Structure formats: C-alpha cells, structure tokens
A and B are shown apart, each in its own frame.
Chain A
Amino acid sequence: MSPLDRRLITHINWPLLVMVAMLFGVGVLNLYSASGFRMGDGVSLNPFYQKQCIWGLAGFLGMITMTLFDYRYFKHVAWPLMILTIVLLAMVPIMGKTVYGAKRWLDFGLFSIQPSEFAKFATLMLGALMLSKGTGRLGWLELFTILAVALPPAAMVIVQPDLGSGLNILLLLGGMILFRGLTGRVFKVLLVVVPAIIPCGWFFLKPYQKLRVLTLFNPERDPLGSGYHIIQSQIAIGSGQMWGKGFLEGTQSQLRFLPEKHTDFAVAVFAEEWGFVGAIVLVALFSIFLYLLAGASRDAKDRFGSFLCAGVFFYFFWQILINMGMVLGIMPVVGIPLPFISYGGSATIVNFCLIGIVLNVSMRRFVFKKA
C-alpha cells in the first residue's frame, strides 16, 4: 500500500465530500425532529439522531480507509470477496439469527454481520472488473457471463428475505450494464423480454408484498393496514404546503401518525416541516450529489475506476428513486432507506464506504503509481 501522496490530498474531490457532508447534516437535523414526539407536557426525544452521528463517524472512518490504498487493488479482491460472500450467504439460512421474521444476520459471537452488505461490495467490484474489460457494447455471451456470476448472490439475498437489498444489487448491476451499453439486438430483445419477466416475479412475491403493490394503486383499499403508510405519508408531505410547518412542528410526525418516520419515511418528516421549498432543495442536493458521482465516473483515469463510480452512482440513484418514490406515493412500499437521510447503522457505514471508493477513484485520476 502506497503512503498517501501529498498530491492525493490536493486532488480530493471536495465538492463530493461537501455534498455528502451536507446531506448527512440534513439527515441528522431531520432525525432530531423525527426522534421527537409530543408527550403530555412537551417534546420528548428518542436518541436516534445521536446514534446516527456515531454511525456517521464510523462511516467516515470507513470512508477514509477506502481511500488509503489504490482502488486498483479491488481488481484482485473482487473474486475472493465474491466467493466469501456466497459462502457467508449460504451460511445464513443454516445459522442465521432471526430478526423481525427474516434471517439476515450472522452472529460470530463478538460481532454480527449482514452478508447482504458484503454482496453489494462484491457485486460492485466484480461487475466493474468484468464490464471494464473490452470496449464495445455487450453481446449475449458477455451479458450471460456477467449475469451467471452476479445473479446467484442477489437471488440468495432476496430469499432471505431481503427484497430491498436484493433489488438494490440487481438494479446496481443492471445500471452498470446499461452504462457499458448493449448491442442493438440484445437491447431490443431485452426491451421485450424484461418487461415480460417482471410480471412473472409477481408469483414469487410474498402476500404482504403483493398487498403493498396493490395498495400503491389504491391506498384506500386498506386505510388502516398497508395503505396506512402511503396515506399518512402523503398527508404529511402535502400538509407541509409551500413553506412547511416549521422545524419540530410537523403534526403528522410529532403525533406519530407517520409510521417508520426515522427510517424509511424520514423524508416525509422533512417535507412536512420544510414544505415544498425545503423538499425541492433536498431533491436538488441529491441531484448535484448524483451529478458529482457521474462526473467522477467521467473523469476516472481508467475504465475500472469509471465503472466503479458508475456502480456507486446507480447504487444511490435507485435508492433515492425507490425511497422517495415510495414516500411520495408513486412506488410500492419497499423497505429501502434514503441514503444519508434515513436512520440506519450498516446502511450509513456502507454508504460512506462507497463514497470512499469514489473519492479514491477521483483523487487518483492524475497519478498512477506502481503498486
């Protein structure tokens, strides 16, 4: 591992770092409000925002770690990491810990890990490695090779069941494939086949998941059950109107009509208290953030780095689209958090580490040292 060159410091992607810091700051501020709920005699707080700060600190350390060595080492790590991930995922059904009815955790006594988080990194790195080889658009053979390698872990995550993470991995990979580009014929065929396959996925959904999709189209069909989330979320956002109800003044969240308000529906709290103006600012921040990721991909010194950044771009892009789409009532309720805004330990650490990878790529866009 090469020591940190002074030039590396000067080439740090400051705009991206600042944008991440702003988003995380907004997230903590919003969690402060979302942690509060009105008791008989005032506002009481759950310590979520404090914990989130600690997770952020841990994530920041992870992010630094990710920049310490040349990202090209990931090329060598990609395959072993994928194999390790598959082994760990295979262990989950056997010795996993059941939390909320799903087996997602492996307990090693001293610490617990979620192999699905490993799967994200493994898919990102291996995908970047495989897609960066060759320059043309993907033909059938290359496409199937990549899918053959990347689909099994994604499938294993989905059956845990962790539809959110599984979907995230699939979409990340799909985004990277599109980023590379497909030959005209393959693209046309997929354009027909993929929409045909998606409805088949319906039969693999659990009943509660089916219900969520159905309630998207008609929330009133079950206003106190699964439609409740969607209805209350829209009431929260809509009642914020142009200027919002003000910080800590959101009735929907303070009186706890809004479910999951510190995790999946955190952005609804924000939109209620800061109104249309605040929400647009947040959407703009996310857009700039994504634009910077795309820029890092464009400016990368090599194709591997470019694909790594594109993979991270898609990882965040899909989460933002699905989470905010869900909160705004245009996507089904899927348990995918909003990066930097939703509370969550492992998600925060993973997010920062991924940013670390992008920072790594962009700070090394001018200097390539021999390993």
Chain B
Amino acid sequence: MDKTLEKILPLVQKPARYTGGELNSVIKDKNAVDIRYAFCFPDSYEIGMSHLGIKILYDIANKRPDTWCERVFAPWADMEAKMRENGIPLYALESGDPIRDFDFIGFTLQYELCYTNVLNMLDLAGLPVKAADRKELAPIVMGGGPCACNPEPIAEFFDLFSLGEGEEVNSELMDLYAVHKKKGSTKEAFLRAAAQIPGVYVPSLYDISYHEDGTVRAITPKDGAPAKVTKRIIRDLDHVSYPETFVVPFIDVVHDRVTHEIFRGCIRGCRFCQACFLTRPIREKSPDVIDAQCKTLCKNTGYDEISLCSLSSSDYTRIEELLGDLLSWTPEQKVNVALPSLRVDNFSDELVQKLTNVRKSGLTFAPEAGTQRMRDVINKNVTEEEMLQTARIAFAGGYSSVKLYFMLGLPTETDEDVEGIGALAKKVVDEFYGMPDRPKGKGCTVGISAASFVPKPFTPFQWEPQATREALLHKQTHLKETLPSKKINVSFHDINTSFLEAVFARGDRRLSAVIYEAFRRGCKFDGWGEFFKFDTWMQVFSDLGIDPAFYANRRRPYDEIFPWDHLDYGVSRGFLERENEKAKRAETTAHCRIQCAGCGASKLNGGHCDV
C-alpha cells in the first residue's frame, strides 16, 4: 500500500472503507487485461456496498478475461480532504490505481441527489468533469441505473448512458471498445459506433432546441444516432449471469447479506411509482434457480441472512414454493430469510407463518395515502379493511411495531386526505388493543413516515406539479395537529431535499450548468442532511437565472415535449396519459393479472409478460 495513504488512513473514520482487500474482491494482473473498468457508486462505501446491481455487473465484467472491473465509492469528507491535501487522486479499491488511467468509469445513478458526488469524484480523480473537455478515447465516462431514464441534467458530464438492464449491453460496449482501442480510434468515432448499440444513449449526438417559454422545441439526433433509444431488458432471468459470490465487506454496511432478486417489473401500476414503470415487463425467476443460487451465495460468503428483493415481493407467483424450498435448509444452517417488500392485500396467514419461523422484527407497510379516494387516485389498490386485516395477522403473528409509509402532496390531495393518514394509523393501533389474546405487558407502536411526493418521468404523474414548499409545510403541520393518538409517532422527509429531487428528476440539459456551479461551490452528498446546502443551491439557481419551480412546480400540458422524450422505456405515453386522466377521476386500473391495461412494455419482450 502507498506510504502516503498509510499515513492518512489512521487519521480518518472507518479507514477499512479505503483499503480494499475484502473477501472475494477480484485481483487480476493489470498487464494481462485490455480494459480497466472503474465501477463507481457516487455515495459512501456503506451505501454502495449494499447495492445489488454493482455486484451483478462487477461479476459479469470480471468474468471477461480481457477486463478488470474494480469498485470505487465516494470518499467521506474527512478522507476526501486528506486525499486532496496529500495529492492522492481517486483510486480503485482492488488495485489502488488512479481511475483517471482507466478505460471506463461507470457510475450507477440511483438517486438525483448523488449528481454533485459524480462531479466531485471525477474532479478528485484529476479528470475534467465536462465530457467535452475529456478529449482522449479513455476514460469513457458512462452512467446507468434508474436516473438514466432522464439523464439530461447531467448529460454534459457523461459520454454515454446505458438504459435499462445492464447485464448484456455492458459486455457489448466493452467488445466494441476493445476493437476501437486497438484501432486507436478517436473518442468521437467510438461514441458514434456505440450509439448504434441498442440501449446506448450518447447525449452529445442530440441537439436540443427550446421554445421561448423554456420548454423543449425539438430533440434532433445527428451522426446516425437513433431518434429513439430503447432501454434494454433481460428476457430470461433464469439463464442470465448471476454472481456465485459477493464481495464481503469488513465493516458493517447498510445491507450486509445475500440479496436475491426474484422478479423484475411490477404488476400493480401505482401511478406515482417510477420503479414499476421503469422495470416492466414482468419477468419472474424460477424458485429452483433462486434457491440454488442462494445456497451457493451463502456458502461462498458466510452470510447468515437472505433478503429476497423485488417490487411487491408477495406478487411473485410462486412465493410459497420458493419459501418452502428455502426453509427446507435455512433454519438448520441458522440462515434468516427476509422479504422486505410486501403488499398489504395479499399478505397471507401462511406467509406470516413461514416468516415467523425466522426472526421477528418490525413490520413496514406502505398504504401511501390515508383515504380511499386518495388511494384510488394513485391506484394503490388496497382497501382499509385489507390493511387492518394485515395488521391483525401481523399482530397475531407476534409483531408489535408497525411502520406505515405515506406521501404528502399527491395530486388532488385535500386536508381531509391528510387527516385520513392519522385516522388510518389510529385504526391500526385499535386493532392491536382490540385483540382478545394480545401479548400482556407489551405495547404497540405505530410509526408514520411521510415523504413528499416527487413527480417522476415515465409515470402517469409526469405532467403533475409538485406541491409547493408552503403547501407541503401546511400538510405536515396539519398531519401533526390532527394525529388522534399518542401511540403514533410521525416523521417527515425534508421538503427541500424533495424539491431538489423534483427539479432534477424532470430537468433538462440546461441544469448541467446549475449542477456544475453547485459542485464548484462545494455541494456534495446532497442526500445527507449534514452536508445538504439548500441555500447554496438556491443561490446558484438565482445567480444563473434559472427558475427551479419551472421544473418542479409547473403543470405540463399533454402536448409538451419532455426532455426525455427520445428515450423509450417500453411504457407508452398514451397509456400514461390515460392513467393520468383516470387519476383525475379517482378511477382505478386493475393490476396486470386481472386485466392487461396495455402499458406497452411487453413489446420489449416479444409481447410477453409473466402474469
């Protein structure tokens, strides 16, 4: 290890975040590979090491003999300061080599508030943050993940984006790159060729023009780039590569366990939920494949917990079969199985029985809204009775603390809807005390966590304004003042954070200047309360003459061209528009297994959905 690094590591918090050397991390001979790939997660080590996507793509890249993929996380502020002080550029954990010399620098973009971290990491690497200022072929800076669905606010900093699922397209990109590197191509030549790979979006190949009112006039491709870039999906989850082992961190990270994805997509179609529409069509993985892979992963990592992840896990059609398979060996091996994403309407007795074979903790449900009318608007197809039924089952199963997730500021929300949140929580409390055989001497706690609604691209609410700061403040106060019971505690997400998230979620390319300037003025880790400098952000908007409310709080007409209209995630705009109209009438849409609503995503999978 570098001697300067050895001198600074004892001076920073949790130095093991910066040393590498974790079990199962991949070490290769750098002289024996053609492509060095730095997989960057623009947040702390603890957050990044919890992410499943990075584990999958790390594994796939390293299976290639010509590629060495390494991990990079955002150093915490104390470490960053020491690195800058001592002239240590951002390095990859496996080799300790500076990432500025790599071929690819790939960022996974999970959350809009990580954007300044991306810039900060490029800067710490010693690279120009703007793509146009990086003239050489290498490094190619690419982005993927959910935020790639509208990457326009950060388009100036990236060479290309990969839309949708990365398992196949990453390899295609590396194949292409290897050819161009050998030929000694220019970056422009490589990018023009890369734009021909389905799912690859090269922002520099699109000219954007604007109307006088600030909305987009046209998005014009050039140099043969496609008019629409369609996201990639993996058709067959049973046969796609899945890691046999994970890098096991030394220190405690947020999700430190075997994680296994059981299906992709969601049948529900809640109108606020971007994840649902970005990940369609529904594709399931077979129980026997999941079970075998979990067994291997437990063996190779030593983890004693498996978390089955997906959107709305209880919608997995073979959930009972899968739990049966897993529970045939996990108790004996002292392995805990967790299902973190459950819906309240099909949370069955048997499921609780199976889950109660393992350790009991608090239960979390997301009714999202307090009244039936409001839940109909957002198409959260659950009734109050179903929720109370679930609470009864959970309480009878031994759970005594329940956390309920809600959103404030949903389209058409009234004060009455806000009051409904407290009223619903109260009914949950009453269920507990109404149980004849409730555990003696044990109280029940119900926690409400209320986030502020952020309208997102590719959802039926993409045309909706976000509630203003004043309106949201009023709703928070109103909720607190009308809480009917002391057994309920409530916590709120920060309004300013949600506002900035809303600006970037539906922003356009002109916001690159704002993000650049905010980074220059020291903004980073904006998702972390202790670092978030809202006043600096507002000052930057004002200094650059850009009105953030134009992006966050404006109702957009149906005929407006969106900054992301050249990107295709399968779900059609017509469908989203129909859903928006139905929301206005508080009409629900049945889930995919009751009736296909024609969202359009099945076209990506040859017309097929696993429903």
**Do A and B belong to a common assembly?**
no
Residues of A near any B CB (own CB < 8 A): none
